[in-house]
Amino acid sequence: MSLALYDTWSRTVRPFVPLQPGHVGLYCCGPTVYDHAHIGNLRTYVFEDVLRRALELNGYTVRHVVNITDVGHLVSDADEGEDKMEKGSRRTGESAWDIAQRYTAAFQADWRALNLREPTAWPRATDHIPEQLAFIDELVRKGFTYRTADGIYFDTTRQHDYGHLARLDRAGLRAGTRVAMGEKRDVSDFALWKFSPPGSRRQMEWDSPWGRGFPGWHIECSAMSAKLLGPWFDIHCGGEDHVAVHHSNEIAQTQACHGTRLANFWMHGHFLTLDDRKMAKSGGDFLRLQTLVDQGIEPMAYRLLCLSAHYRSSLRYTDEAIRAAQSALDRLRKAFASWPRGGVAHDGFVARFNAEVNQDLNLPRALAVLWELVRSDLPPAVRRATVVHFDAVLGLQLSEWVAPAHEMPAEVAALLAQRQAARDAKDWALADRLRDALKALGWQVDDGPTGQRLSPSSGAPATPRKDSTGADDKVTKLSDSVWAP
């Protein structure tokens, strides 16, 4: 089955055909780096990572861009209030530039912990001010803007189809408006360039043809994506909260400047909810990935939890759900590690898995295929090879997992420790002999950038493992898990 994806613009699942054969331009709205990302934010990036992996599964080369918003995102979507970076600076006592650097690094650490593929580019808004000024200048030249006391605004009334992405009822918005309009002509109009407040100096501000100030949030993504991917590319992604304002405004200004809606497909991940409410930083009770780690939950378990719900469905976070995901991950790892190498992936299971992935990233059904495979009576080496194929999309790093030392036979653990000491001493001959000794006991040792990785090789003796109840932890127990259909 060829890849089909849901397009928010058309409200349909339609076949994906790249604009340039064999190549895909993918832009994902990145974080505003005034604070840590919460796990709700990260769910969107897991969805986008799966999308990229699915594109690569189908043979496409992906140019993947994730921006860093380090200026211009105001606390209100109505272009009111202060810049979030300035607010973060006041909260921490650090400069806006310093917190941007600190929280960018923290976000990228979370990114790597979740095994998200590295983007082709991480453009920062503050590095692309000239492109944003040129974009605004073109909109001014074409007559799509007007000036107020606090900035340059985009005139949405110039476009009869403004808000089509969100199916906005513009008349209803005007009738029900509750935001302070100031000098805005229409409730939907938005800032392209904000002037620095009179009598004050911002930490982040630049000269422009219209006055000293800073860019609006929406112009940043349009300018950076057009520079790095062109004004008409394949897929633009973000969270569902971007549809009505941020992405609608990106489309409006790009239509005015370039005559395109920017992307052929618009795709949006749905919220992670906590106690039936959207997780948000403004609530002050958001959960970070590090919070889960401190509770004994691994990042890969959170990734598996995200995969358990379709990206276009809300996912409710509970302590029970995340611990079930950790338990399922543990069982899957142990089963995988017990299977020997050397098999060939099973064509039937591969075809079924690929078909579910290609049907708008239906990962819950793809996981069902995985668990069916785990419980099957196929040869263990075949199961392992097939799961390796699956994990190229799932991204759970199953091949990289190393069993804790207490789960190895004592003799094996001792030999492994001796071999590490030999490697540290650069005694390669001894290290090779110890590798052979481990192989004779049925264990395969691989050396990688993170050190030695041990797994049973073909013919390895079965080593029963005990769960907390003392019962044998058989692979068939996966059927008892909520993760196994």
The CATH code of the domain that includes 259 is: 3.40.50.620
146 with 21, same domain: the answer is yes
pLDDT for 114: 97
Cα 411 from chain centroid (whole Å): 41
DSSP state of 384: H
pLDDT for 477: 27
- DSSP annotation string for 62-122: EEEEE-BB-S--BSSTTS-S-BHHHHHHHHHSS-HHHHHHHHHHHHHHHHHHTTPPPPSB-
Nearest to 218 by CA among 240, 198, 244: 244
The identity of residue 335, as a single letter, is A
CA dihedral 301, 306, 309, 312 (to 10 degrees): 180
Does residue 240 form part of some domain? yes
* Residue the block writes with tokens 């304002």: 245
414 with 383, same domain: the answer is no
pLDDT for 90: 81
103 with 144, same domain: the answer is yes
49 with 174, same domain: the answer is yes
pTM listed for this prediction: 0.83
Does residue 472 form part of some domain? no
Does residue 480 form part of some domain? no
pLDDT for 451: 77
Does residue 228 form part of some domain? yes
Rounded Cα–Cα distance for residues 131 and 137 (Å): 10
255 with 325, same domain: the answer is no
Rounded Cα–Cα distance for residues 5 and 478 (Å): 31
Rounded Cα–Cα distance for residues 309 and 40 (Å): 13
Does residue 276 form part of some domain? no
77 with 117, same domain: the answer is yes
pLDDT for 479: 31
pLDDT for 89: 83
| Domain extent for 352 | 283-400
What confidence tens digit (pLDDT) does each residue in 286-325 have?
Answer: 799 999 999 999 999 999 999 999 999 999 999 999 999 9
| Structural domain ending residue among the three candidates 380, 400, 420 | 400
The domain that holds 317 is classified in CATH as: 1.10.730.10
| Structural domain ending residue among the three candidates 269, 293, 309 | 269
89 with 129, same domain: the answer is yes
pLDDT for 455: 72
Rounded Cα–Cα distance for residues 244 and 44 (Å): 17
pLDDT for 176: 45
Instruction: Walk along the chain (485 residues) and give the pLDDT tens digit of each residue.
Output: 799 999 999 999 999 999 999 999 999 999 999 999 999 999 999 999 999 999 999 999 999 999 999 986 776 565 666 778 887 888 888 888 999 999 999 999 999 999 999 999 999 999 999 999 999 999 999 999 999 999 999 999 999 999 999 999 877 665 445 455 678 999 999 999 999 988 777 889 999 999 999 999 999 999 999 999 999 999 999 999 999 999 999 999 999 999 999 999 999 999 999 876 666 665 555 799 999 999 999 999 999 999 999 999 999 999 999 999 999 999 999 999 989 999 999 999 999 999 999 999 999 999 999 999 999 999 999 999 999 999 999 999 999 987 765 567 778 888 888 998 889 888 999 999 999 998 888 788 888 766 787 776 644 443 333 333 233 332 222 233 335 43
341 with 438, same domain: the answer is no
Cα 341 from chain centroid (whole Å): 31
Does residue 467 form part of some domain? no
- Token representation of residue 63: 């140019």
E strand or H helix at 269: strand 262-269
pLDDT for 149: 93
Nearest to 444 by CA among 391, 402, 475, 404: 402
| Structural domain ending residue among the three candidates 269, 291, 324 | 269
pLDDT for 66: 98
Length of the chain: 485
Does residue 476 form part of some domain? no
Upper half-sphere CA count for residue 211 (Cβ side, 13 Å) = 14
Number of domains into which the chain is organized: 3
The answer to whether the Cα torsion of 411, 412, 413, 419 is positive or negative is positive
304 with 263, same domain: the answer is no
Rounded Cα–Cα distance for residues 473 and 336 (Å): 13
261 with 317, same domain: the answer is no
245 with 296, same domain: the answer is no
Does residue 12 form part of some domain? yes
458 with 316, same domain: the answer is no
